[in-house]
Structure 1
Amino acid sequence: MAAAPLVGGLADIVFDHAEEDPHRVALGRKDADGNWRDVTAAVFRDEVLALAKGLIAHGVRFGDRVALMSRTRYEWTLFDLALWTIGAQSVPVYPTSSAEQVLWMLHDAEVSAVLVEHEDHAMTIASVIDRLPGLKRLWQLDADAVAELTDAGAEVEDEVVHRHRRAVTPESVATVIYTSGTTGRPKGCVLTHANFMFETDTMVARWRPVFRSRPGDEAATLLFLPLAHVFGRMVEVAAIRGRVKLGHQPELSARALMPDLVTFRPTFILAVPYIFEKVFDAARRKAEAEGRIGPFDKAVDVAVKYAEALETRAFGTGPGPSAGLRMQHQFFDKVVYRKVREAMGGRIRHAMSGGSGMERRLGLFFEGAGVTVYEGYGLTESTAAATANPPERTRYGTVGLPIPGTTVHIAEDGEVWVHGDHVFAGYLGAPQATGAVLREGWLATGDLGSLDEDGYLTITGRKKEILVTSGGKSVSPAGLEERVRAHPLVAQCIVVGNDRPYIAALVTVDQEAVEHWLVMQGRTPLKPEELVRDPDLELEVRRAVVAANTAVSQAESIRTFRILAHPFSEEHGLLTPSLKLKRRAIETAYAAEVDALYR
């Protein structure tokens, strides 16, 4: 367990590391030609110091709030550390936020300056600036904001910056992160330097063996999660504090990400289940296109059985893989599993997953393929992870044990409560909302869960998302949706049925997977509107629904479903930026389709 910090702030580590080992490679950064270049601890320190001086020259002071609206880029990390160096507070804003969302966050946080990535973001700010009288500065990354600020601070003495830095204490506010929120107006979670120090130092200390794929490797991770989300922010801080080489990738899509995994070659990654699903689906489609789907599916079964055998041995309930299973596993490692690892850069042997639940079988496959995925659970209010699977005893299908220094309690109604030094200070300017979730130091998460005999947590749903049919049956939709989504052709699934006679579902399909499926059937491509009426596709989705229903009672099962022509998207306000379904918004947007399910 990491000791609670007594002095200092998050930026101190940048200066300490540069003093201790100035030539160590701290970050990787892409140049104009798309090649990765090393950034040493000393160079990064100098850039942070120069930017901090520029911020002071532009009037940013201790305690001021500065919004960052950008995709995941090297400059975001640079600005975060520069702001923390002078005791300012960063307010992350999703780059896809609407003008009204931006207005609310900047107004609520009383932001005095904004950094945006490009002109479109600047135009978004400009459209609401007349309603933000406290906003004094706007910088644009693609208009050379870093150079502009660095030049402005050239005459500021280093000691001015260090005076600011020495005034930062663990209790100082580091950031205000607005919950993306599946319902209602976002609330600003106030997180301190101490919250991040405890969270990241605990994770680094407990999971340090997973950072390297083999002894002597340089630990490196590629960050592609949005830095406006607490998970991405935790990764950023943990990498800097844990001496892990950090690279940035701005697009959370498999098509953009996979090439950078190959060139950056991280030793571990932290991701959401979507990424692991896409890696698996791409490998399976490639095998099918090459006429090797039979051997691939056999390799998957062997990987799952092998991982299950390892799991039972770790928990003392089995002898481990048999000699025959080990031989099969060794064979498939050469012809299948190695290729999966190579698609992720070749060096990855460990990964962490959070943000939403991962299907147990998918986790077992990756374990059997040589990449152990440690699933965890947390919220913005807990500075990311509150629980995670430990390296030596991973139980797939659960989100693990409380991280060291954290306690998890299941309330009488099944709600998960969390206690620890990473729990936030409260919502900005909202004592009533804070009081609703903080109970004498305990965070009432709003999630439902259970603890098994070994203390491993399983999340079963959200309190606010429980559906109650007109017959009085309570149904948690999350598990059903996850099982339907396990089908390779399914992209998204939302279960409906509140105050209705039975449970039903709206389903969207993975366009890339469907195109491949049609090619393998020797069929021509279909338009989205044609796909929803295709009997063969309907049969495939029905199989997914039937498989999901085997895990629940008849009263909880999906009786009927509808395939939609287009996926739920963030642009249409149907997904949060962290890819969670906005249930109310979806049910409103598709009210006619939902009604048709009950005719």
Structure 2
Amino acid sequence: MREFSLPALYEVPADGNLTDLIRRNAAQHPDVAVIGRKRNGRWEDVTAAAFLTEVREAAKGLIAAGVQPGDRVGLLSRTRYEWTLFDFAVWSAGAVTVPVYETSSPEQIAWILGDAGAVACFVETDAHEFAVESVRHGLPHLKHVWRIEGGPAGRGAVEQLRHDGSDVSEAEVDRRSAHAKADSPATIVYTSGTTGRPKGCVLTHRNFFAECGNVVERMGPLFQVGDSSVLLFLPVAHVFGRLVEVASVLAPIKLGHVADIKNLTDELAAFRPTMILGVPRVFEKVYNSARAKAQAEGKGKIFDKAADTAIAYSRALDNPAGPSIGLRFKHRVFDRLVYSKLRAVLGGRATHAISGGAALGERLGHFYRGIGFSVLEGYGLTESCAATAFNPWDRQKIGTVGQPLPGSVVRIADDGEVLLHGEHIFTGYWNNETATADALSDGWFHTGDIGTLDEDGYLAITGRKKEIIVTAGGKNVAPAVIEDRIRAHALVAECMVVGDARPFIGALITLDEEFLPRWAEDHGKPAGATVAELRTDPDLLAAIQQAVDEGNAAVSKAESVRKFRILPTQFTEEAGHITPSLKLKRGVVTKEFADEIEAIYSA
């Protein structure tokens, strides 16, 4: 057994709640822009004073509608300004927010709102409203549904609540805002879950203070009042997105919201954040797109040399002697030719990003640090209120998910499982004492992840305890390592390793729909050829074999992928293959693609 901890840097308020933050901001920084809101295609600033006013107006509407302290209020929407507005309005009314992914099916919506006993719900669009109404007969507690975009008589939720709450006094809002204490529930976040129905994680105001306060303090230079900014394009329904929201308000720094990431580079150029939060797939796509563009312009060799130089430069930074004179010269040349343009794609001002949700991979981590844009990996779960470990801005160790959150403890059990302890750990699952007892033992949360701690307390995650594959030869294989490596290839969208009770390890692979047409054109394949038509093409198989070979280089021979199958379709959330946070539902995939798996082992 091994454990590591760091002293707390932030003192959690003995009492009070998250609404204290917006009142403090309005009092101390009334004219500082704390929100960037997009209207009519243009970004405009919302000051701390203006944001507090809008929150209180919305809270008055909730109070007028009969929402009581402790009531649960659903929030079903993409990432947008109103998400943060209504989150703080719900807390200001003394209630509890229940996030719902905007991609949720009516059945999932019914389960979450029903299990939480929600009395009201915000929805974004008429389609969302229709989904809620289709299951409303099974939601006896649900009294109100407000639509953000164009509600009754064209009056959206913001205008409706402002109108309905006009007679509620300021004193009543003050009373309601003070109702919740530090240990009161702030939100119930339903884990997307890779198996079974989602469980509601109860996160308190104390959990968020401990989490966000210590993150902001440890990452201080990235959270400068009046200067720093972050563009949030993760789902706020996910706890990682919620961390960004609350930490930004706590700092405070300017927070922008983007719902559609198809035009992400344009939004980054317009908003120009100083920090970016994302999942590895975002950073993989930026790299792959830049490389493909360079190849299309006949500059592929230059890009590859620049990438190799960036990686070598970053690796040299970890050595006492640092980069050689020759490497420094090459780095300066490529900075003018390549790196500066890549940083411009990321907005031009950002020097750091925080990545979570999956492993980024050492090569990509070194590439980004080498171009002057450090991607700091972290690790966390819904139950740990997002990040429970992260790489600090000044002591990054690529290949790990960093050190424990200050004020918390990470322990590696005798069987390799990662255990967590601290004020950021959830209090339990809503209406599920059995699951709570299974997850929490003597104040320690059992993550189900397998990991290691080095001598400096940096954590590395090697797999999931329940996802360990045992081959017919008795070899234990953690699939995450090789899957992450294979998935980093530009052609690969998803990879799932198989081989439980089989003679060797195989893999199911889906192709990136954006990159495949470009690859097909470059290799003389018919225009518009589908995955189903190309998946047995020798050139494509050779390209994917290269990705598999790169993945195999990270593991032993017994753990390596011997054969693979390219699937004709994608793994999608709608089909139940992946969760909203992009985690594979292995049981679902295994069942649906059983014939493909059998084909791997039939020859």
Shorter chain as normaliser: what TM range?
Answer: over 0.9
Counterpart position of 2:435: 433
Q: CA deviation at 1:464?
A: 0.8
Counterpart position of 2:217: 205
Counterpart position of 1:403: 405
**Structure 2 Cα separation of the partners of residues 147 and 335 of structure 1:** 50
Map of 1:537-576 to 2, 5 A cutoff?
A: 537-576=540-579
Counterpart position of 1:446: 448
Deviation per CA, 1:118-150, whole angstroms, max 9, x where unpaired?
Answer: 111111111111111111111111120110011
Q: Which amino acid aligns with 1:152?
A: D
Counterpart position of 1:240: 249
From 266, 289, 298, give the equivalent of 2:296.
289
Counterpart position of 1:227: 236
From 335, 338, 354, give the equivalent of 1:336.
338
Q: CA deviation at 1:554?
A: 2.3
Identity among equivalent positions (%) equals: 52
Any conservation in 2 of the 1:311–1:394 contact (CA below 8 Å)? no
* Structure 1 stretches of at least 4 aligned residues deviating more than 6 Å after TM superposition: none
Any conservation in 2 of the 1:311–1:393 contact (CA below 8 Å)? no
**Structure 1 Cα separation of the partners of residues 385 and 530 of structure 2:** 43
Deviation per CA, 1:87-117, whole angstroms, max 9, x where unpaired?
Answer: 1000000111111111111111111111111
Deviation per CA, 1:245-298, whole angstroms, max 9, x where unpaired?
Answer: 0000013x4x32111011000000111111111111111111111100001000
Q: CA deviation at 1:463?
A: 0.6
Any conservation in 1 of the 2:313–2:323 contact (CA below 8 Å)? yes
Any conservation in 2 of the 1:5–1:198 contact (CA below 8 Å)? no
Counterpart position of 1:74: 81
Counterpart position of 1:278: 285
Any conservation in 2 of the 1:367–1:373 contact (CA below 8 Å)? yes
Q: CA deviation at 1:60?
A: 0.7
Give the 3-state SS of the residue equivalent to 1:598 in structure 2. helix
Q: Which amino acid aligns with 1:269?
A: I
Deviation per CA, 1:283-338, whole angstroms, max 9, x where unpaired?
Answer: 111111110000100000110011111123xxxxx211111111111111111011
Counterpart position of 2:364: 362
Q: Which amino acid aligns with 2:191?
A: T
Q: CA deviation at 1:447?
A: 0.4
Q: CA deviation at 1:551?
A: 2.5
Counterpart position of 2:24: 16
**Structure 2 Cα separation of the partners of residues 217 and 19 of structure 1:** 15
Give the 3-state SS of the residue equivalent to 1:183 in structure 2. coil
Q: Which amino acid aligns with 1:8?
A: G
Any conservation in 2 of the 1:211–1:350 contact (CA below 8 Å)? no
Any conservation in 2 of the 1:462–1:476 contact (CA below 8 Å)? yes
From 76, 88, 97, give the equivalent of 1:90.
97
**Structure 2 Cα separation of the partners of residues 73 and 488 of structure 1:** 30
Q: CA deviation at 1:169?
A: 1.1
Counterpart position of 1:193: 205
| 2:182 equivalent to 1:173 | no
Deviation per CA, 1:63-97, whole angstroms, max 9, x where unpaired?
Answer: 00000000001001000001111210000001111
Counterpart position of 2:533: 530
Q: Which amino acid aligns with 1:259?
A: D
Q: Which amino acid aligns with 1:474?
A: N
From 583, 588, 594, give the equivalent of 1:585.
588
Give the 3-state SS of the residue equivalent to 2:399 in structure 1. coil
Q: CA deviation at 1:411?
A: 0.5
Any conservation in 2 of the 1:12–1:85 contact (CA below 8 Å)? no
Give the 3-state SS of the residue equivalent to 2:103 in structure 1. coil
Matched residue pairs, number?
A: 588
Q: CA deviation at 1:555?
A: 1.9
**Structure 2 Cα separation of the partners of residues 333 and 225 of structure 1:** 29
From 505, 512, 515, give the equivalent of 2:514.
512
**Structure 2 Cα separation of the partners of residues 225 and 319 of structure 1:** 39
Q: Which amino acid aligns with 1:246?
A: L
TM-score, normalised to structure 1's length? 0.97
Map of 1:140-159 to 2, 5 A cutoff?
A: 140-142=147-149, 143=151, 144-159=156-171
Counterpart position of 1:268: 275
Q: CA deviation at 1:550?
A: 2.5
From 250, 254, 264, give the equivalent of 2:259.
250
**Structure 1 Cα separation of the partners of residues 534 and 421 of structure 2:** 48
**Structure 1 Cα separation of the partners of residues 89 and 514 of structure 2:** 41
Q: Which amino acid aligns with 1:224?
A: F
| 2:11 equivalent to 1:3 | yes
From 119, 128, 138, give the equivalent of 1:131.
138
Q: Which amino acid aligns with 1:367?
A: R
Deviation per CA, 1:217-244, whole angstroms, max 9, x where unpaired?
Answer: 7111000010110000010000011111
Give the 3-state SS of the residue equivalent to 2:379 in structure 1. strand
Deviation per CA, 1:444-471, whole angstroms, max 9, x where unpaired?
Answer: 1000001112221100000111111122
Any conservation in 1 of the 2:119–2:142 contact (CA below 8 Å)? yes
**Structure 2 Cα separation of the partners of residues 359 and 487 of structure 1:** 11
**Structure 2 Cα separation of the partners of residues 565 and 243 of structure 1:** 47
Q: Which amino acid aligns with 2:344?
A: E
Deviation per CA, 1:530-585, whole angstroms, max 9, x where unpaired?
Answer: 11121100001111112222232222221110001222111111110011111111
**Structure 2 Cα separation of the partners of residues 355 and 548 of structure 1:** 19
Give the 3-state SS of the residue equivalent to 1:580 in structure 2. coil
Counterpart position of 2:196: 184
Counterpart position of 2:48: 41
Structure 2 portions without partners, runs of 5+:
1-8
Q: Which structure exhibits the higher relative contact order, with contacts defined as CA atoms closer than 8 Å and separated by 6 or more residues?
A: 2
Q: CA deviation at 1:515?
A: 1.5
Q: CA deviation at 1:521?
A: 2.7
Deviation per CA, 1:455-511, whole angstroms, max 9, x where unpaired?
Answer: 211000001111111222111111111111122211110001112221110001112
Q: CA deviation at 1:523?
A: 3.6
**Structure 2 Cα separation of the partners of residues 16 and 453 of structure 1:** 40
Give the 3-state SS of the residue equivalent to 1:36 in structure 2. strand
Any conservation in 1 of the 2:189–2:237 contact (CA below 8 Å)? yes
Deviation per CA, 1:372-420, whole angstroms, max 9, x where unpaired?
Answer: 1110000000000011111222111100111211111100111000111
**Structure 1 Cα separation of the partners of residues 74 and 95 of structure 2:** 11
Map of 1:371-410 to 2, 5 A cutoff?
A: 371-410=373-412
Counterpart position of 1:315: none
Q: Which amino acid aligns with 2:246?
A: V
Structure 1 portions without partners, runs of 5+:
313-317
Give the 3-state SS of the residue equivalent to 1:342 in structure 2. helix
Q: CA deviation at 1:193?
A: 0.4
Q: Which amino acid aligns with 2:336?
A: K
**Structure 2 Cα separation of the partners of residues 453 and 208 of structure 1:** 25
Q: Which amino acid aligns with 1:204?
A: V
Q: Which amino acid aligns with 1:451?
A: L
**Structure 2 Cα separation of the partners of residues 518 and 37 of structure 1:** 42
Any conservation in 2 of the 1:304–1:361 contact (CA below 8 Å)? yes
**Structure 2 Cα separation of the partners of residues 39 and 548 of structure 1:** 46
